[in-house]
Amino acid sequence: MMRLNRSPLTCTAACAALLCATGAPPVRAATAPVRAPSPAVRTALGRLWLGAAWYPEQWPESRWPKDLALMQAAGINVVRVGEFAWSALEPHQGDYHFGWLARAIAEAARHHIYVVIGTPTDAPPAWLTSRYPQVLRIHADGRRAEHGNRRQFSYASPLYRTFCRDIVTRLAERFGHNPDVIGWQIDNEYTNESYDAGTRRQFQLWLKRRFGTLAALNRAWTTAYWSQTYTAWNQIPLNALPGNPGLMLAHRQFVTATWLSFQRNQLRALRAHIAPRQFITTNIGGLGWSDNWDHYAITRPLDIAAWDDYVGEGQLNFYRNGAMSDFVRGWKRQDYWVMEAQPGFVDWAPVNNSLVKGGVRAMTWESIGHGADAVLFWQWRSALGGQEQYHGTLVGPDGRPEPLYREVQRIGREFKRASAAIAGTSPRSQVALLVSYDSRWAIDFQRQTRRYHQLRVLLDYYRPLENLTHAVDIVSARAPLAHYKVVFAPSLNVISRSLARHLRAYVLSGGVLVLGPRSGMKDQYDRLNVERQPGPLVPLLGGRVQQYYALDAPVAVAGAAGDGTGRIWAEALTPRSRKTRVLLRYGAGNAWLTGEPAAIERRYGHGAILYLGTILDRRLMHAFVERTLAAAGVRSPFGVLPRGIELMRRVGAGREVVILINHGAARRTVRLPYAMRDVLHRGRVLRSVRLRSEGVAVLERTSAP
């Protein structure tokens, strides 16, 4: 049996509950006291894990040793098993077959490979859905889901949750103290809500608990509009149609509460039986940006966050993928796992091309640079049947390595060399981007222009921040902010009184808050704030939005930050205080906007608040961000890097680790501000690094500032 109290792993040395749901070290202020990590977090984070999803139930046991030997030779030290294996674990109701899983775990241990068990509840067996059809999900159009796929169940079904709790409890009793099992993944990629009658009743009861009276609900939702006033709770609809903004926002919040309680059902079953060192997570899909439920709420009770990192069609966009990685790290404000990574290509994109040679290695190291401590590929070996036969793998159906295997083998060797240097380090940033799910939902309900894509708007801010600082946090708008010098809130559409107090306190204590377009238009019920934008922050800003405009053509913008254009969306601002000054004005091109302020700024307390009312072109956006950072004293010692070079910095335990990746087609040279040790190549001391296309360097500096 393997034990975790050893040196880092290498391939050779250690090859119904629903209703209860609800850059450099900081300079400006000290961070809040950091709690000592739990045993489960210490298991998951603090070393490099390389793995794959393995499905032993699909193959003869005689094949297992060969597959695991290939994994060990590639440097793989962890596998995820079991998350789609319910019919193999319980082929008939009450008939449990756990022996094969125990043998698979033991065989993995003989090859120095640890195991994460996935609870199998994403794919219920046919005996369950045929004998108890009431657990099946109802689509928005009224059709009942059928067996033959996955996620055909209703997350809100009390009966389905009973079956889930039973199978998870039995697995936890059997494997909760197995020394070779290091963690658990609950379910798989939470996705589809249900529109059945039982879920509708739960929604209505959830609303009653939240509002208390129909009068309060009617007032919050402004139901006098179009005679929508409700006189009984059972009149409130549940559907996927556009409707009252307050109802739509409440439905998204209810979906979050539903999945949170679905997860809690399994979380309690696990924690009652597993060892403290075994961590619990769930893998979040949707390319990271899925918005039909709140990722911050779902990951809060888990030990670590995990997501599934796929590119799909095309090649790696390192700004987008880096932003999504930073977004994931912000869910719990700690390092995370990539539970599924793209092994070259997928089978669900419009064109399922392969990443370029070296692209998987670059993508893997990018994840590590942004805070991942584990990368597991999906999947190990091609299944002979099923819906994902064309999906990329590391080993083909014949059991022989695919061409990508050698690239993963190289990653395994590099992880072995770098694990000790990276252990105990995390990305650090002086700047943050703020995200709010209520704001995302509110804007998506009423976009006003099809061109307003919130992820693209976020990336407009992220790109210059990443170029200038090489370290960006993306966190909840309600996260602690005291240790950031500057925070940017690109689309903070919903600002309640309590959130306004949180942001005001940040500014008063010395922070710089930059609000983007559409900020503060709505309150917590998706009603218009009577102060106009930015709602309760108008007194802090000393100004407000006079009017907003969806643009059909760009408009000229110029001022202290430079000149360029605004596009997609524009707001005419009005200063209301002598201390509020104009940074940018609109030029000719749109008579409603000509000469009106496009960006204003006010010093307040020890800090400042800025409002940018339009989406700037890339050149002017870079200048605007650069000016804001310089005024706040934010700079990176690495300066501006050559085009196509991504730099990531992890700090901790008296060390600084820098990961450099060349995403461009040409060789590039990066000059370092100080000498650093080359972790991947015999510890050479370097003052500059030359990288070929898709090249990677991992550099270490001890006694980091």
| d(C-alpha 376, C-alpha 49), whole Å | 8
Half-sphere exposure of 295 (CA within 13 A, CB side): 29
> How many helices (H) and strands (E) in the chain?
18, 26
> Sign of dihedral through CA atoms 241, 243, 248, 251?
negative
d(CA 340, CA 355): 16
Q: Within its chain, how far is the Cα of 591 from the centroid? A: 41
Query: For residues 619, 622, 623 and 628, what is the CA-based torsion angle, rounded to 10 degrees?
Result: 160
How many CB atoms sit inside 10 A of residue 408's CB? 25
CA 237 to chain centre: 31
The token pair that represents 650 in the structure block: 């992890």
Measure the CA–CA gap between 335 and 367, rounded to whole angstroms.
10
Catalytic option among 57, 193, 340, 656: 340
Q: Are strands 431-435 and 696-702 parallel, antiparallel or unpaired?
A: unpaired
Instruction: Give the DSSP H/E element, type plus range, for residue 41.
Output: helix 39-44
Structure-token pair, residue 700: 């270490």
Fill in the amino acid letter for 649: R
The C-alpha atoms of residue 495 and residue 479 are separated, in whole angstroms, by 14
Positive or negative torsion for Cα 242, 246, 247, 249 = positive
Residue 281's SS3 state is strand
Helix axes 158-175, 245-271, angle to 10 degrees: 30
Task: Give catalytic status of residue 189 as yes or no.
Answer: yes
SS3 138: strand
Q: What angle do CA 173, 175, 176 make, to 5 degrees?
A: 70
User: Which residue(s) pair with 570 in the sheet?
Assistant: 549, 614
Token code pair at residue 385: 């049947």
Q: Give me the sheet containing 685-691, strands edge to edge.
A: 426-427, 645-652, 655-662, 696-702, 668-678, 685-691
Dihedral of alpha carbons 560, 561, 567, 572, sign:
negative
Q: Do 513 and 550 touch, CB atoms closer than 8 A? A: no
Q: Kind and range of the H or E element at 367? A: helix 359-369
- CA distance linking residue 66 with residue 380, whole number of Å: 12
Instruction: Please tell me the distance from the alpha carbon of residue 625 to that of residue 619, in angstroms, as a whole number.
Output: 10
Active-site choice (57, 189, 193, 596)? 189
CA distance 193 to 153: 9
Residues forming beta bridges with residue 80, ordered by sequence position: 53, 116
Write the DSSP string, 58-123.
GS-GGGHHHHHHHHHHTT--EEEE-TT-HHHH-SBTTB---HHHHHHHHHHHHTT-EEEEEPSTTS
CA 244 to CA 197: how far, in whole Å?
Answer: 20
Report the catalytic residues.
189, 340
